Amino acid sequence: AGIPLNAIAPGTVVTPMTEPMLAGPDVRKIVDATVPMPLHGHAQPAQIAPLLTWLTSPENELVTGQVVFIDGGADAVLRGDGTW
């Protein structure tokens, strides 16, 4: 159809849904262990939005069929050194 079809894979994004989990130290430890984000911690929506804006903009003429990880390094940490 001539449109780029992509997906993003965010780590933990601080939203009204996740804020209560991140506020409690015990649950936050579980979240941090499950989705480790060593590069600047949990994301704000404003950090994710520019990628979505660009992927869906007319400027994006070639990126399609991709899953773009915007997870602060979570995927790399969880996959481990053996993957690379």
Whether residue 23 is contained in a domain is answered as: yes
Whether residue 61 is contained in a domain is answered as: yes
Rounded CA-CA distance 38/73 in Å is 6
The larger pLDDT score, comparing residue 38 to residue 83, is at: 38
pLDDT at 1: 76
Whether residue 51 is contained in a domain is answered as: yes
| Count of positions (residues) in the chain | 84
Strand partners, 69: 9
- What pLDDT, in 10s, does the model give residues 68-79? 999 999 999 988
Could you list the residue range(s) of the whole structural domain that residue 29 is in?
7-83
- Whether residue 57 has pLDDT greater than 90: yes
Residue spans of beta strands (DSSP E) within the chain: 7-10, 67-70
Structure tokens at 35: 């989705």
Whether residue 1 is contained in a domain is answered as: no
What is the tally of structural domains in the chain?
1
Whether residue 76 is contained in a domain is answered as: yes
Structure tokens at 74: 């979570």
- What pLDDT, in 10s, does the model give residues 1-54? 778 899 999 999 999 999 999 999 999 999 999 999 889 989 999 999 999 999
Whether residue 58 is contained in a domain is answered as: yes
Whether residue 2 is contained in a domain is answered as: no
